[in-house]
Amino acid sequence: MITLSRKQIRVLRSVFRRALNITSRSTGPPVKFVADSKSLKIQAVGEHAAVEYCLAGDFVPQAFCVGLSMLADCEGGRAEPVQFRCKDDSVTAEWNDAGIPQVAQSARLDTTELPPLPERMESNQPPLLHALRDAVETTAAEGTRYALHHLRLRGDGQIAASDGRQLLVQSGFTFPWDGELLIPANRLLAGSDLSGGEAIEVGCTEDWVTLRAGAWTVWLKIEKEARFPQVDDLLPTANVAGSTLHWSDVDAAFLANAMQRLPSNDEFNRPVTVDLNGAVSVRAIGSNEAKPTEVVLTSSRRDGDAIRISTNREYLGRAARLGFRSVHLTGQESPAFCREPARTYLWAVLGKAGIIPSDPEATRIESPTSQHTTAIPQERNNAMITTKPEHAPKQVESHQTETVSVDSLIESAETVKASLRESSSQVSDLIAALKRHRRQSKTLQSALLSIRALQAIDA
């Protein structure tokens, strides 16, 4: 018999779903349990990734495989025990839900063996996981001519990622191989399950890159056929910039939050104009608005020449969220970039045509010069975001006896957290599907326009 908590099973299933790219329309691979006198290992193997969770303890030696759906049946937000019992050709899981006995059953299944472990593993500090997360968030949902849905890991410790419009290059890590390898931009790397403040070991075999963090070991299939773009030639040095925007921590946080509320006249590129002419400002205008809205960054400054550029607000905001505090500009048609000793972030601007000129009648919002929050007007209405008072009113003390324990509240919060994580995974799948539909629609529209043009010529 093997015993796990319902909460542990929920975490396991969530990790397997994201690591193996299991959607609501797929069943996923079997899950293998391998127990001995020292540990329990729980494994799942997919086409491009494999995962193992190792739980130390004294277990009765046994091995069996069940369907992933069985974990869905018995998972939960509380630490209630689930007992797995093996019979001849089946596995039974038993637990209590709100005091009511529950039973789930699965046939004993066959499974694929895990990839081999590397003979050599190099240790890296926890910032490697943060770098991998940022890299995954830079990739494309699908590959095109190049492997833009992959990460490039180079033997000199560099990680590169791009979606064709933005590029993030990070260095300073230790990888035990020569040359460069391409691995999938796995969704598991974008989460927090592998982070635990411990060192991360990295190694590779002929076909797999292996990451080990705490109790988790992850194998990612090496892509040998696809090509990654030659991005190294695109990396500039900071001294080539003609203009540089330096923003303070307060301005960077304020702008990253404010840009999502600024109006837009293009839902695809969501452009804003960065104006480094006198005051540092970011300007946007809505489709049905005559006057722009302008955010003035009161604690920021410009070095170099005055310049205005048009850029996708997502990339400008991401530069701030990544922690960069200087944005370098070389021209209105040239990429903007941020550069630190171990990181470079670069993105394509939108060109001169999208630049919004200054307007003395623009709605102006200044960034805060203190810890108070400045209200930002919403695009759809003129309601202002109210600021929080510095001193919140004290809560009225209640003399009623507490009926809910702290442990119960924590368990409820864990349940909500797991549900949100699952919802986030489903939203990511939906966004990817919508993007594919949008690209297909644009292709169809272009084809129809071409056909109409040909018909006009024939006429």
Per-residue H/E/C for 51-93? EEEEEECCCCCEEEEECHHHHHHHCCCCCCEEEEEECCCEEEE
Is 146 inside a domain boundary?
A: yes
Compute the distance between CA of residue 56 and CA of residue 79 in angstroms, rounded to an integer.
18
Is 172 inside a domain boundary?
A: yes
pLDDT of residue 430: 64
Using CA atoms, how far residue 374 sits from 293, 295, 371, 377, 384, in Å, is: 15, 11, 9, 10, 9
Same domain, 350 and 250: yes
In one-letter notation, the amino acid at residue 133 is R
Q: How many angstroms from the chain centroid is the CA of residue 354?
A: 29
Is 427 inside a domain boundary?
A: no
Same domain, 80 and 58: yes
Compute the distance between CA of residue 6 and CA of residue 13 in angstroms, rounded to an integer.
11
**DSSP H or E run through 96:** strand 90-97
What angle do helix axes 406-458 and 6-19 make, rounded to 10 degrees?
20
Same domain, 353 and 246: yes
Q: Read off φ and ψ for residue 95, nearest 5 degrees.
A: -160, 170
Is 167 inside a domain boundary?
A: yes
Same domain, 226 and 256: no
Is 160 inside a domain boundary?
A: yes
Contacts of 301 (CB under 8 A, 6+ apart): 245, 246, 280
3-state secondary structure of 95: strand
Q: How many angstroms from the chain centroid is the CA of residue 172?
A: 21
Using CA atoms, how far residue 265 sits from 270, 271, 312, in Å, is: 7, 8, 12
Same domain, 186 and 172: yes
Chain position carrying tokens 């480094």: 276
Using CA atoms, how far residue 412 sits from 64, 80, 389, in Å, is: 31, 13, 29
Count the neighbouring beta carbons within 10 Å of the beta carbon of residue 249: 11
Give the DSSP letter string of 271-306: EEEEEEESEEEEEE--TT-SS-EEEE-TT-EEEES-
Same domain, 241 and 334: yes
Same domain, 60 and 76: yes
Same domain, 88 and 126: no
Name residues of the chain where pLDDT drops below 50.
370, 372-410, 447, 450-451, 453-459
Helix, strand, coil in percent for the chain, rounding step 5: 25, 30, 45
Q: Are 220 and 148 in contact (CB under 8 A)?
A: no
Is 412 inside a domain boundary?
A: no
Number of H helices, E strands in the chain: 6, 26
DSSP 384: B
pLDDT of residue 299: 94
Is 212 inside a domain boundary?
A: yes
Q: Read off φ and ψ for residue 156, nearest 5 degrees.
A: -85, 10
Q: Are 138 and 218 in contact (CB under 8 A)?
A: no
What angle do helix axes 313-321 and 249-258 make, rounded to 10 degrees?
140
Compute the distance between CA of residue 91 and CA of residue 105 in angstroms, rounded to an integer.
6
Q: Indicate which CATH number applies to the domain containing 176.
A: 3.10.150.10
Q: How many angstroms from the chain centroid is the CA of residue 434?
A: 18
Compute the distance between CA of residue 270 and CA of residue 311 in angstroms, rounded to an integer.
8
Same domain, 266 and 295: yes
Same domain, 126 and 209: yes
For 171, the token pair is 């260095």
Last residue of one domain, picked from the residues 49, 72, 107: 107
3-state secondary structure of 189: helix
For residue 156, the enclosing domain spans 122-233
Same domain, 56 and 127: no
Is 59 inside a domain boundary?
A: yes
Structural domains in the chain (count): 3
Last residue of one domain, picked from the residues 319, 351, 366: 366
pLDDT of residue 136: 97
Q: Are 386 and 377 in contact (CB under 8 A)?
A: no
Last residue of one domain, picked from the residues 366, 389, 415: 366
Same domain, 362 and 292: yes
* 140, HSE (Cβ side, Cα atoms, 13 Å): 17
